[in-house]
Amino acid sequence: MPLHEALKMVETQGIDLVEVSPEAQPPVCRMMDYGKYRYQQRKRSQGAKKKQTFVAVKEVKMGSRTDPHDLVYKVRNIRKFIERGQRVKVSVFFRGREITHPELGREMLNRVVGQVQDVAKVDITPRLEGRSMALLLVPKHA
């Protein structure tokens, strides 16, 4: 319909004329309550945000020669994170010439896995990434 007729109809009904596709020949418009439309869009996006879950990945770092007592403390933190349902990345860093002995880091990670295997399982196996070796633990119930 011609533009002046559409504007007259919109004015009598108390709604808005919204241009949907300006590139089309002729341009396509829609008669709607634009405020109500924006309100519904906002509510829809809020509903989507409410349903999404955010998965946090905590990281616990240690050296390849970390003392056994310090390891107990770190394992206690890992257990706490796992019980909260969080994923945990366990990293072993190599300083200087320690990188020539990656088996020490792998042994350290295996010790950690052995101590938390009742509550967690390995999601990503240990692998060397630059000067560190890392693995990812996830809760067993998830």
Chain segment 44-69, per-residue pLDDT in tens:
988 888 877 777 899 999 998 889 89
> Looking at residue 113, what is its pLDDT?
93
Kindly give the parts of the chain with pLDDT less than 70: 142
> Looking at residue 129, what is its pLDDT?
87
Q: pTM for the complete prediction?
A: 0.62
CA 5, CA 55: separation in Å to the nearest integer? 54
Measuring CA to CA, which residue among 64, 61, 79 is closest to residue 115? 79
Look up tokens 């405020």; give the residue.
35
Q: Report whether 116 contacts 71 (CB < 8 A).
A: no
Q: Are 42 and 92 in the same domain?
A: no
Q: Are 66 and 116 in the same domain?
A: yes
Q: Are 86 and 130 in the same domain?
A: yes
> Looking at residue 142, what is its pLDDT?
53
Length of the chain as a residue count: 142
Q: Are 103 and 131 in the same domain?
A: yes
Please give the residue range of the domain that contains residue 8.
3-50
> Looking at residue 27, what is its pLDDT?
85
* CATH code of the domain covering residue 103: 3.30.110.10
Q: Are 62 and 126 in the same domain?
A: yes
SS3 15: coil
Q: Are 43 and 18 in the same domain?
A: yes
Domain boundary pick from 50, 71, 88 = 50
Cα maximum dimension of the chain? 83
DSSP H helical ranges for the chain: 3-13, 34-51, 68-83, 102-116
